[in-house]
Amino acid sequence: MSTFRLKTKITLGVLFLYLMLALVSVVGVLLLRGQNEKSRMILQDNYESLEDCQNMLRALEQMTDNRQQAMTAFDRNLMAEESNLTETGEARAAHDVRVAFTALQNDSAHQEQYFKPIRQGIANIMAVNMRAIKEKHVKSNKTGDHALIYIAVIIGVCFMLGFTFVFNFPGYIANPIRELTEGIKNIAQKKYSQRLYFKSDDEFGDLAEAFNTMAAQLDQYEHSNLARIMFEKKRAEAVISSLKDATIGFDANDTILFANQPALDLLNMKERDLVGFAASVAAKNNDLLRTIIHQQAHEPLKIVVDGKECFFVQEVIDIHQEEARTGYVIILKNITSFLEHDQAKTRFIATISHELKTPLAASDFSLKLLEDERIGTLSGEQKELVESLKQDNRRMIRIVSELLDLSQVESGNIQLQVTPVFASGIVKYALDAVTNAAARADIRIDVQVADNLPPILADVEKSAWVLVNLLTNAIRYSKPGSTVTLAVTVTDTRELQFSVRDTGKGIAPAFREKIFERFFKVPGAQHPQGTGLGLAISREFIDAQGGRIGVESEEGKGSLFYFMLPLAPGNDSANTP
């Protein structure tokens, strides 16, 4: 097993390629250089012998003209040749030339007879060297061919080694990476039994060991976590089963995950026919389940249970995980007892209000009689006392009237007479009702009603009641000497908007939605004597007519209350009353 680290192996691999390249280069250079040097050294001797022979022939030609100088040159070149005898037969030929030259030196009178043997000897020397040059040339060519063969063999061997290395070494790096990638994918798919086995002690071996340790820990955690999840599942099922409210759970794909016993009883279904099925499939043969799933009504559902009409309110709770909706739970709460109590309360309030209205009306009539001077004259203190009683009596009458209206709203028996009407009639009705109150409070009402307003579909009495309530509140919370603005305009949504703006202290953002709730009063209000029912009843009246009501307010700058009612059909153009 290798003990080299991965970096060392890569370095050695690259170094191996460089060494093979260097080996081929060095061997080629050495072989070629050696062959060239050897050829040059061998041929040099032959060329020198040929040059000496040519010099001797020239000296021999000059014998007749300048014997002494020619003899000296000839002897010098002959001695050079005798010192450069490298080929077979060259020494004999040189000896023959020396013998003939010696005879020539001793017999100057008959020198020409020696020229022929001298030339013959020189020719023999030249022939021997020329033959040697040819033989050495052939031999040099063969040696060069052998060198090329050696170089080709070495290059081929290096190429095969390099090719084998290049083909296998990347796999040595890539194969573990590929196995690691596959292992990570399996781990991502929760296949924690995945293991890696690299037969090396390098970084890949360390990586495989770390990967296997991680996988083993994940596998152990998965099994322990699974046991914990099963325990939590059983505990959650126990909690769900103990709930008294009907509860049904769904996943993100609308598959039913669970349903407790109250839900099964209410749906008259078995768990095996419900749990595990898609909601649309399970609801095919169950109208109630289909209603619960598709309508998800905000109004109470009326369901007959054991021959008795019961009312349930539906609550949908979304389940989110990491900002993604993973499912939801539908809870049906039985509110039958609450509705029965609420109806009893409504009937009680209506009965008490009717019972109180008669004596209050009688008290109001009696107080008016006391003010009649035909019965008797009252002192100043008595008049103040009667006036105080009249105000308290009117307040009680207003409270009783609002309670009667509230009981009518709660019972769902709002009697509407919706007809095409003009806004001017509603505005006049409201102004007549609040003019005296505005004068007493030193409040000016600025009326801004556009000309040629189209008619609306509304109940004149209920709409005027709402407008009177808004104007009364504006007068109550505005400072003396200020102005309350009443405006009526047409909106872009085919509605007519009635708005009342005051210059009071405004409403804090936290209370703007709550002011339309029953019995709600803004904390710290300057006039706490109100019942907190006016705006709640106003919203019910406007909603019943298909309109909208709201408020815009800024603390310290007053409030703008408005309500909108739909235009009468076929009245897109302006009309006048």
Q: The domain that contains 428 carries what CATH number?
A: 3.30.565.10
- Domain of 470, in residue numbers: 419-566
Whether residue 367 is found in the same domain as residue 400: yes
CA distances from 452 to 81, 98, 427, 486 (A): 143, 153, 14, 17
CB atoms within 10 A of CB 448: 11
pTM for this predicted structure: 0.40
- The reply to whether 151 falls in a domain is yes
The CA distance from 565 to 553, in Å, is 21
Residue pair 315/333 in contact (Cβ under 8 Å)? The answer is yes
Number of domains making up the chain? 4
Q: Catalogue the long-range contacts made by 114-120 (C-beta closer than 8 Å, 24 or more residues apart).
A: 115/60, 115/63, 118/56, 118/60, 119/57, 119/60, 120/96
**Quick one: DSSP state of residue 104?**
H
Q: How much is the pLDDT for 158?
A: 76
Q: Quick one: average pLDDT of 136-153?
A: 76
| 470-502 per-position pLDDT tens digit | 999 899 888 899 999 999 999 888 899 999 999
Percentage of the chain lying above the pLDDT 70 cut: 78
Residue 336 pLDDT greater than 70, yes or no? yes
Average pLDDT, the chain: 78
Retrieve residue 180's tokens: 């690691």
- The reply to whether 351 falls in a domain is yes
| 197-209 per-position pLDDT tens digit | 777 666 777 777 7
- The reply to whether 212 falls in a domain is no
Retrieve residue 127's tokens: 């022939």
Whether residue 288 is found in the same domain as residue 356: no
Whether residue 33 is found in the same domain as residue 75: yes
CB atoms within 10 A of CB 434: 22
User: Confidence class of residue 34 from pLDDT cuts 50, 70 and 90?
Assistant: low
**Quick one: DSSP state of residue 334?**
E
Whether residue 444 is found in the same domain as residue 555: yes
The CA distance from 483 to 446, in Å, is 7
Q: Quick one: average pLDDT of 494-514?
A: 87
- Specify the higher pLDDT residue, 167 or 214: 214
Query: What element of type H or E holds 282?
Result: helix 279-282
Q: The domain that contains 315 carries what CATH number?
A: 3.30.450.20
- Torsion angle of C-alpha atoms 499, 503, 505, 509, degrees rounded to 10: 30
Whether residue 315 is found in the same domain as residue 360: no
Q: Quick one: average pLDDT of 184-211?
A: 76
Residue 574 pLDDT greater than 60, yes or no? no
CA distances from 446 to 452, 471, 489, 540 (A): 19, 11, 14, 27
Q: At which of 151, 177, 203 does a domain end? A: 177
Whether residue 29 is found in the same domain as residue 169: yes
Q: Quick one: average pLDDT of 249-269?
A: 85
| 88-114 per-position pLDDT tens digit | 888 888 888 888 888 877 776 666 777
Q: At what angle do helices 380-410 and 336-371 cross, to 10 degrees?
A: 150
Q: The domain that contains 81 carries what CATH number?
A: 1.20.120
- Specify the higher pLDDT residue, 324 or 398: 324
Q: Quick one: average pLDDT of 567-576?
A: 63
Whether residue 258 is found in the same domain as residue 346: no
- The reply to whether 47 falls in a domain is yes
- The reply to whether 279 falls in a domain is yes
Q: Quick one: average pLDDT of 133-159?
A: 77
| 282-301 per-position pLDDT tens digit | 888 888 888 888 766 566 77
Whether residue 28 is found in the same domain as residue 117: yes
Query: What element of type H or E holds 471?
Result: helix 460-477
Whether residue 128 is found in the same domain as residue 164: yes
- The reply to whether 184 falls in a domain is no
- The reply to whether 194 falls in a domain is no
Region of residue 522 (left: phi > 0; alpha: psi -120 to 50; beta: else): beta
3-state secondary structure of 260: coil
Residue 226 pLDDT greater than 80, yes or no? no
Residue 561 pLDDT greater than 90, yes or no? yes
Q: Quick one: average pLDDT of 158-176?
A: 73
Q: How much is the pLDDT for 575?
A: 43
Retrieve residue 185's tokens: 């994918």
Q: At which of 140, 155, 177 does a domain end? A: 177
Whether residue 517 is found in the same domain as residue 393: no
Whether residue 13 is found in the same domain as residue 81: yes
Q: At which of 410, 430, 462 does a domain end? A: 410
- The reply to whether 223 falls in a domain is no
Whether residue 386 is found in the same domain as residue 524: no
Residue 563 pLDDT greater than 90, yes or no? yes
CA distances from 71 to 52, 373, 404, 455 (A): 14, 189, 165, 154
User: Confidence class of residue 117 from pLDDT cuts 50, 70 and 90?
Assistant: confident
Retrieve residue 550's tokens: 């709201």
Q: How much is the pLDDT for 541?
A: 86
The string of DSSP letters for 399-429 reads HHHHHHHHHHHHTT------EEE-HHHHHHH
Residue 330 pLDDT greater than 80, yes or no? yes
